[in-house]
Structure 1
Amino acid sequence: MRILLILLFCLLNVALWAQKKNEAYQLNLHRATGPIKIDGLPDAAWNDAAVASDFYMVLPMDTSFARVKTEVRMVYDNEHLYLLATCYHLLPGRYFVESLRRDFTFGKNDNFLLFMDTFDDQTNGFSFGANAAGAQWDGIMYEGGKVDLSWDNKWTSAVTKDDEKWVFEAAIPFKSIRYKKGITRWGINFSRLDLKTTEKSAWAPVPRQFPTASLAYSGTLVWDEPPPQVGPNISLIPYALGGGSRNFTDNTPTTYKKEIGMDAKVAVTSSLNLDLTVNPDFSQVDVDRQVTNLDRYELFFPERRQFFLENGDLFANFGYANIRPFFSRRIGLNVPIQYGARFSGKLDKNWRIGAMDMQTAEVESSHLPRQNFAVMALQRRVFSRSNIGVIFINKSSLNYQPSDDPAIPVYSQYNRNLGLEYNLASSNNVWTGKTLFLKSFSPDKSKKDFTHAANLQFSTRRVLLNWQHEYVGENYNAEVGYVPRKNYLKINPQAGYLFFPKGKVVLSHGPKITSTYFFNSDFKQTDNESVLSYTITFRKQSVLTGWAAHDYVKLLLPFDPTNSGMDSLAVGTDHSWNAFGTDFTSMPQSIFTYAFSTRFGGYYASGTRLNLSGEVGVRFQPFVSLTVTANYNDIRLPEPWGNKTFWLVGPRLDLTMTNKLFFTAFAQYNEQQKNVNLNTRVQWRYKPASDLFIVYTDNYFPENFAVKTRALVVKLTYWWNI
């Protein structure tokens, strides 16, 4: 055993220190020899640019050159980085897109994407692109291959089409991205998805088990001289807002809202940014999708507010999915933010830093005091792609003393968290993992107030192996985090294998087994879920999965199995059941798409649960996309719960008149919460990154459609570069 561990350690060290995989793929970048107009019609200046061609196929298989031809050129001047991508057709017929909406769904659109590693660290970067109808895509890259599309910045592009090809042309201001001063080598890759042939390809080859965004497999953009320094780089983003809201259930008069505020972005250097906000408002952010909640613990909803996003991975990705010491949605969703500042970015190729301070206002109605939220994060790269991170989080209630009156809520005077983690990523991305230690500090809790977790994953084309364990102490307290469960030890092994048949129908198929065990502090089992699944991926990219599972739960807290306010099952009771189900997603290149999931089996208290869910979408390219999602639960339990059915239905309409004018409307009927929600939003991007929003929201009682609440907001933003 000791010999095996030594061999594994040696192999990991070789993988960690290995040279960049696609170092041989280089694209030389030169200054533009003439002016470039962004109209999708190549200017003469493009004739002198180096060409990236001979893309490699990633899907269906990664063993040959791409069949669909793509050519990419890049040049620059003092203000912009320019890109021209010529995407040729292989088969006749229409292209496939959802709509002209920004930040489209990757797998449902013919598209071209650029991935830039502007520090050549194979970890962080930027992504830009477009679908074949001209809808823009932009996001920040983190953890070596993930893209956060909530990030939005100022750049321009155009797409033109003919029978032979479609052409994407873009100008990306140097002021819109962050990069190291003096560096002449950036990591770069180009990705193309052609749905007529179901082919995904990349310029620098990427193994099929990884996304084309994987920066471990990027090539190199070689500058003829260091990127230009753009001088003072300050952006002011003021907004003005007006609106009104009314609560009809309380029969209160309409409340009117008139606000102004501003965000500012100050580039301290080309790689460090200072974000400032005064009286921010996020009323234009998409409403969270409702879900039927049958879980015993708090559900997670992602952050969508723009201020928290750039370099947000420094704070938000510390920890695991259910162990997050910092979760920005704890700040200001139901409490007004007065002001905030964030300093983040790269100190050099190896060091990243993040510091944030937010101040919220007092809320007299709930006796909530003014609170301050401060976060500090530091990250150091080690080996080729791994890093060590430290985080400190402090939440303080200002000038606050808890009241002795039992009718007045009591809030904590402070809560602090200190964390250390190591993120493993081998040079070829085959080995990944994380180990984490957290400790909390609270005035009323001590001992058993720390957390440890770790995982190690091995992933190749055929094999997936993963081990994960977690320990969360009984008194661990992360008031600015997301840790829905405490006082447990979790063990979660996982294994999977893929077969690749030679037929023309099935691309791959294979089993996966995962088992999750929870134990209490005495190492007695409290939960287990074991799942055996089998997935078939067809060459047309539809996917079918069948699964069977066994569950065991020993309740540690009272729990209503319908989550509808009825009686609860007692603490200490044991429950176990078996269940099976299916999942299917149709091929994405169809105008009509659909997906469904089924689940049938046992449930708490020897009951049964049937769950049917599905989504149907139809698109009238490129202007209209209509989708309808539905979720049905039929729960059968002994008295006092009896038989319960819950419907959740949500139609959504996306109307995109141009790639600058959007209308979205969706309704959500939630039988469990006895609510119907209607939300409509108009967005007009009258200038790059400058918008007019009109948002209208209603909530109704489903029995008679009487109005509960109603709100209308009009918001104007303007992005002004100084």
Structure 2
Amino acid sequence: MVVKIKEVIFQKLPFVLKRLFISLFIILYIQSIYGQKRTCIAYRVDPVAPQIDGNLDDLVWQSGEWNDDFIQRMPYENTPPSQQTKFKISYDDNNLFIAIRCFDSAPDSIEKRMSRRDGFDGDWVEVNIDSYHDLRTAFSFTVTASGVKGDEAVSQDGNNWDPSWDPIWYVKTKIDNEGWTAEMQIPLTQLRFSRQKDYIWGFQVNRLLYRKGERSSWQFISPNTVGWVGQFGELHGISNIIPKKQVDVVPYVVGKYETYKKENGNPFADGKDATASGGVDGKIGITNDLTLDFTINPDFGQVEADPSEVNLSTFETFFPEKRPFFIEGKSIFNFRMTDGDGNLSSDNLFYSRRIGKQPSRSLDLEDNEYARVPDNTTILGAF
């Protein structure tokens, strides 16, 4: 009786109102579907781990369900992408394995560009893992169609992305007549998580179709939504793994011998210099959630070279930090104090590259006065 009355009332409504009600119902339905947290399942490797070669023909990828139905974020928000994507996850006691299939109806048009690490040129896929499941921090692993790796430590619910974080992980890509594939192996030592019986992690997969400027995601997150990590879908199925207490000790020994033209009367320029130095960088897991980073006489010279730059202004040149000791946990010095996206929203209250840099002070020496100017400041005088 109630249903019949509702049908009669709906039939008597003007045509415009009928269309309005139908449109409103469709919008609310779509929002309810895509606003829900999606879940994916990780399958334990049985019997052998996949070979990381970009070919998704390993036995482990033949069982279990693929995760698909990606939703476009840009340029046409909340619509199906022009090219679909699917992925599958497996794990063992030491690694997380991820297989991604990026379908493309025009494989010859896939944008393959070579770049340095963390250079996201061309088509790429990105995996975000909130292993703490604190809804604020995550680890991001990206690979381009040409096989270039990128990785970032995400904090402040996606407001800060730190590309100086360079974990050890493995990935291979391959282009075929269906599009391209990516096969990842992420050691659990590179993730941070507390010991539990069953794990639930935040999880997200994103894809860029370069030629169309099209970004799509597995867990749809509107560009107008506040936050990023807190909106991730969830990864279930991981159980009975033990967080690895990371122990990395990297010693170094450096010898240097230099010859040059002797300066008469200058005791510091006798035509040759011979130096030797040594030290240790280390990382030791104290507990599952606490890692000790230490350095003894760090070798500031043996890191990635900075690009050449001529600075004719009165302001200091800023270079990204690449030294391992100063990278871990550096997000605690980032404070959101200005408007902007990502790192542009944080004021740089601590610039670690000043530690150990080459002395910049010019000495005012009298005639027949000489001084030794070191190439780098020692750690005892770094501040």
Common topology (TM > 0.5): yes
Equivalent residue number for residue 97 of structure 1 = 112
Determine helix, strand or coil for the equivalent of 1:207: coil
Amino acid at match of 1:309: I
Work out the CA distance in 1 between the residues paired with 2:296 and 2:336.
27
Q: Cα 1:148–1:307, aligned 2, differ >3 Å: closer, same or farther? A: same
Mapping of residues 29-108 of structure 1, within 5 Å: 29-35=42-48, 36-42=50-56, 43-99=58-114, 101-104=116-119, 106=120, 108=121
- C-alpha contact 1:58 1:205 (8 A) present in aligned 2: yes
- 1:151-207 deviation digits (Å, cap 9, x = unpaired): 112222211221222111111111122112216211110111111332111111122
User: Aligned pair 1:290/2:303, yes or no?
Assistant: no
Instruction: Decide which of 177, 181, 184 is 2:199's aligned counterpart.
Output: 184
Instruction: Decide which of 224, 242, 249 is 1:236's aligned counterpart.
Output: 249
User: Aligned pair 1:312/2:330, yes or no?
Assistant: yes
Instruction: Tell me how far 1:229 sits from its aligned partner.
Output: 0.8
Amino acid at match of 1:329: R
User: Aligned pair 1:333/2:333, yes or no?
Assistant: no
Work out the CA distance in 1 between the residues paired with 2:262 and 2:75.
55
Q: Cα 1:247–1:163, aligned 2, differ >3 Å: closer, same or farther? A: farther
- C-alpha contact 1:30 1:75 (8 A) present in aligned 2: yes
Work out the CA distance in 1 between the residues paired with 2:287 and 2:188.
12
Q: Cα 1:319–1:248, aligned 2, differ >3 Å: closer, same or farther? A: farther
Identical counterparts, % of pairs: 26
Instruction: Tell me how far 1:74 sits from its aligned partner.
Output: 0.5
Work out the CA distance in 2 between the residues paired with 1:126 and 1:170.
14
Instruction: Tell me how far 1:257 sits from its aligned partner.
Output: 4.3
Equivalent residue number for residue 185 of structure 2 = 171
Equivalent residue number for residue 275 of structure 1 = 293
Mapping of residues 435-474 of structure 1, within 5 Å: none
Mapping of residues 115-154 of structure 1, within 5 Å: 115-145=128-158, 146-154=160-168
Q: Cα 1:39–1:370, aligned 2, differ >3 Å: closer, same or farther? A: closer
Instruction: Tell me how far 1:218 sits from its aligned partner.
Output: 1.3
Equivalent residue number for residue 437 of structure 1 = none
Amino acid at match of 1:112: V
Instruction: Tell me how far 1:102 sits from its aligned partner.
Output: 2.3
Q: Cα 1:334–1:41, aligned 2, differ >3 Å: closer, same or farther? A: same
Instruction: Tell me how far 1:305 sits from its aligned partner.
Output: 1.8
Instruction: Tell me how far 1:322 sits from its aligned partner.
Output: 8.3
Work out the CA distance in 2 between the residues paired with 1:74 and 1:286.
37
Q: Cα 1:322–1:131, aligned 2, differ >3 Å: closer, same or farther? A: closer
Q: Cα 1:34–1:23, aligned 2, differ >3 Å: closer, same or farther? A: farther
Amino acid at match of 1:259: S
Determine helix, strand or coil for the equivalent of 1:184: strand
CA RMSD of aligned residues (A): 3.3
Q: If each structure's helix is expressed as a fraction of its own residues, which one has the higher value?
A: 2
Work out the CA distance in 2 between the residues paired with 1:174 and 1:66.
32
Equivalent residue number for residue 263 of structure 1 = 281
- C-alpha contact 1:113 1:129 (8 A) present in aligned 2: yes
Q: Cα 1:327–1:45, aligned 2, differ >3 Å: closer, same or farther? A: same
Determine helix, strand or coil for the equivalent of 2:333: helix
Work out the CA distance in 2 between the residues paired with 1:372 and 1:178.
34
Instruction: Tell me how far 1:259 sits from its aligned partner.
Output: 3.2
Equivalent residue number for residue 215 of structure 1 = 229
Work out the CA distance in 2 between the residues paired with 1:103 and 1:322.
20
Instruction: Tell me how far 1:256 sits from its aligned partner.
Output: 4.1
Q: Cα 1:278–1:63, aligned 2, differ >3 Å: closer, same or farther? A: same
Work out the CA distance in 2 between the residues paired with 1:84 and 1:58.
22
Instruction: Decide which of 146, 166, 170 is 1:156's aligned counterpart.
Output: 170
Instruction: Decide which of 205, 211, 220 is 2:220's aligned counterpart.
Output: 205
Equivalent residue number for residue 211 of structure 2 = 196
Determine helix, strand or coil for the equivalent of 1:37: coil
**Structure 1, unaligned runs of 5 or more:** 1-20, 336-362, 374-479, 481-722
Amino acid at match of 1:334: Q
- C-alpha contact 1:80 1:172 (8 A) present in aligned 2: yes
Amino acid at match of 2:353: R
- 1:273-316 deviation digits (Å, cap 9, x = unpaired): 11122221132322255254445x54544323222112210135
Instruction: Tell me how far 1:244 sits from its aligned partner.
Output: 5.1
Instruction: Tell me how far 1:91 sits from its aligned partner.
Output: 2.7
Q: Cα 1:319–1:41, aligned 2, differ >3 Å: closer, same or farther? A: same
Mapping of residues 402-413 of structure 1, within 5 Å: none
- 1:575-631 deviation digits (Å, cap 9, x = unpaired): xxxxxxxxxxxxxxxxxxxxxxxxxxxxxxxxxxxxxxxxxxxxxxxxxxxxxxxxx
Determine helix, strand or coil for the equivalent of 1:144: helix
Amino acid at match of 1:270: N
Q: Cα 1:257–1:201, aligned 2, differ >3 Å: closer, same or farther? A: farther
Amino acid at match of 2:230: A
Determine helix, strand or coil for the equivalent of 1:51: coil
Determine helix, strand or coil for the equivalent of 1:52: coil
Instruction: Tell me how far 1:90 sits from its aligned partner.
Output: 3.0
Amino acid at match of 2:306: V
Mapping of residues 668-707 of structure 1, within 5 Å: none
Instruction: Tell me how far 1:76 sits from its aligned partner.
Output: 0.6
- C-alpha contact 1:191 1:201 (8 A) present in aligned 2: yes
Equivalent residue number for residue 239 of structure 2 = 225
Determine helix, strand or coil for the equivalent of 1:196: helix
Mapping of residues 507-518 of structure 1, within 5 Å: none
Amino acid at match of 2:102: C
Instruction: Tell me how far 1:93 sits from its aligned partner.
Output: 2.0
Amino acid at match of 1:90: S
TM-score, L = length of structure 2 = 0.73
The alignment of Structure 1 onto Structure 2 pairs a total of residues equal to: 321
Instruction: Tell me how far 1:137 sits from its aligned partner.
Output: 1.7
Instruction: Tell me how far 1:325 sits from its aligned partner.
Output: 4.0
- 1:131-166 deviation digits (Å, cap 9, x = unpaired): 111122222112222332221122222112212221
